[in-house]
Amino acid sequence: MGTTLFMPNATIHLHRDDLPDGLSLGPVVAIDTETMGLNPHRDRLCLVQLSGGDGVAHCVQIRPARLGGRGADCPNLKALLADPARVKLFHFARFDVGILRRELGVEVAPVRCTKIASKLVRTYTDRHGLRDLCRELLGVDISKQQQSSDWGAAELTPEQLAYAASDVLHLHALWERLEGMLLREERLDLAEACFRFLPTRAALDLLGYQEPDLFAH
């Protein structure tokens, strides 16, 4: 059983434990995650948000068995994440790809990351957060008020769902703008090489290689 929340410019569907059978989100799917914290070795995955870029967000609540859910047993979601024919679009993919690998046992690929794209091409600023990108490139101001909230709660609030959805609803439009900038500055090939490396970078993180950095002196 799920819940649907209607917003002025978006529709949000909440699913528990997995995506519904037969759902198609297109060839490029924007994805984000919410966890109990930012330590991938400690903090569990609570929510996976997805959008096909059509103003509709699908939020999958991942409930562990001890809380009445199915945990990593979400075959439809895992099939989408691992599908080599479907591009997965993230903002700061390094963390999301790592937590999905650890919690669901899938290697998420191929991927694109708007944060990496921004750092490669928006060299005139050090502000590469999602809110900064949405404000500058799209003229959209998104709220981060619910960022630090209890994502492990049995019942998520409408405010939490609206925040979670906002993290995926704008990624397609952001990528379109950033891809154009990468092409203009002749850095798209470099960006694609970075994206191909991201699953390996996430695997290194899970093995504890954030520090020391393998690429440091």
- Report whether 89 contacts 171 (CB < 8 A): yes
Give domain limits for the chain: 3-206
Task: Flag whether pLDDT at 64 surpasses 70.
Answer: yes
Task: Flag whether pLDDT at 86 surpasses 90.
Answer: yes
User: Considering the entire predicted model, what is its pTM?
Assistant: 0.93
What percent of the chain stands above pLDDT 90? 83
Judge residue 108's burial from the number of C-beta atoms within 10 Å of its C-beta, 0-12 exposed, 13-18 middle, 19 or more buried: buried
* pLDDT tens per residue across span 139-198: 999 876 656 789 999 999 999 999 999 999 999 999 999 999 999 999 999 999 999 999
Q: Could you say which architecture CATH assigns to the domain 3-206?
A: 2-Layer Sandwich (3.30)
